[in-house]
């Protein structure tokens, strides 16, 4: 693998940006509605994500930064 330099990393980022711009990924959020099955795994995953978010919000409320004051 070639050595990572600023130039090689810049070239890799440029290539990724070119590929992303040429992709046919949907831009309308409505096309992804319902893409996850309504099964026990998905419900457990969603509950875990929601719990993590709420824990982060509670921690932020308990320890407000100077920006929040």
- DSSP summary character for residue 68: G
Q: Domain residues of the chain, as ranges?
A: 6-68
* Spatial separation of the C-alpha atoms in residues 60 and 42, rounded to whole Å: 27
Q: What is the pLDDT of residues 12-63, one digit of tens each?
A: 999 999 998 888 777 788 888 888 899 999 999 999 999 999 999 999 999 8
Q: Name which residue leads in pLDDT, 48 or 3.
A: 48
Q: Which pLDDT belongs to residue 47?
A: 97
């Amino acid at each position: 693998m070639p050595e990572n330099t600023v130039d090689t990393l810049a070239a890799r980022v440029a290539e990724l940006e070119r590929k992303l711009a040429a992709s046919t990924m949907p831009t309308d959020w409505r096309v992804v509605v319902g893409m996850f099955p309504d099964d026990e795994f998905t419900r457990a995953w969603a509950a875990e994500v929601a719990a993590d978010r709420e824990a982060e919000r509670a921690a932020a409320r308990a320890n407000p930064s100077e920006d929040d004051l």
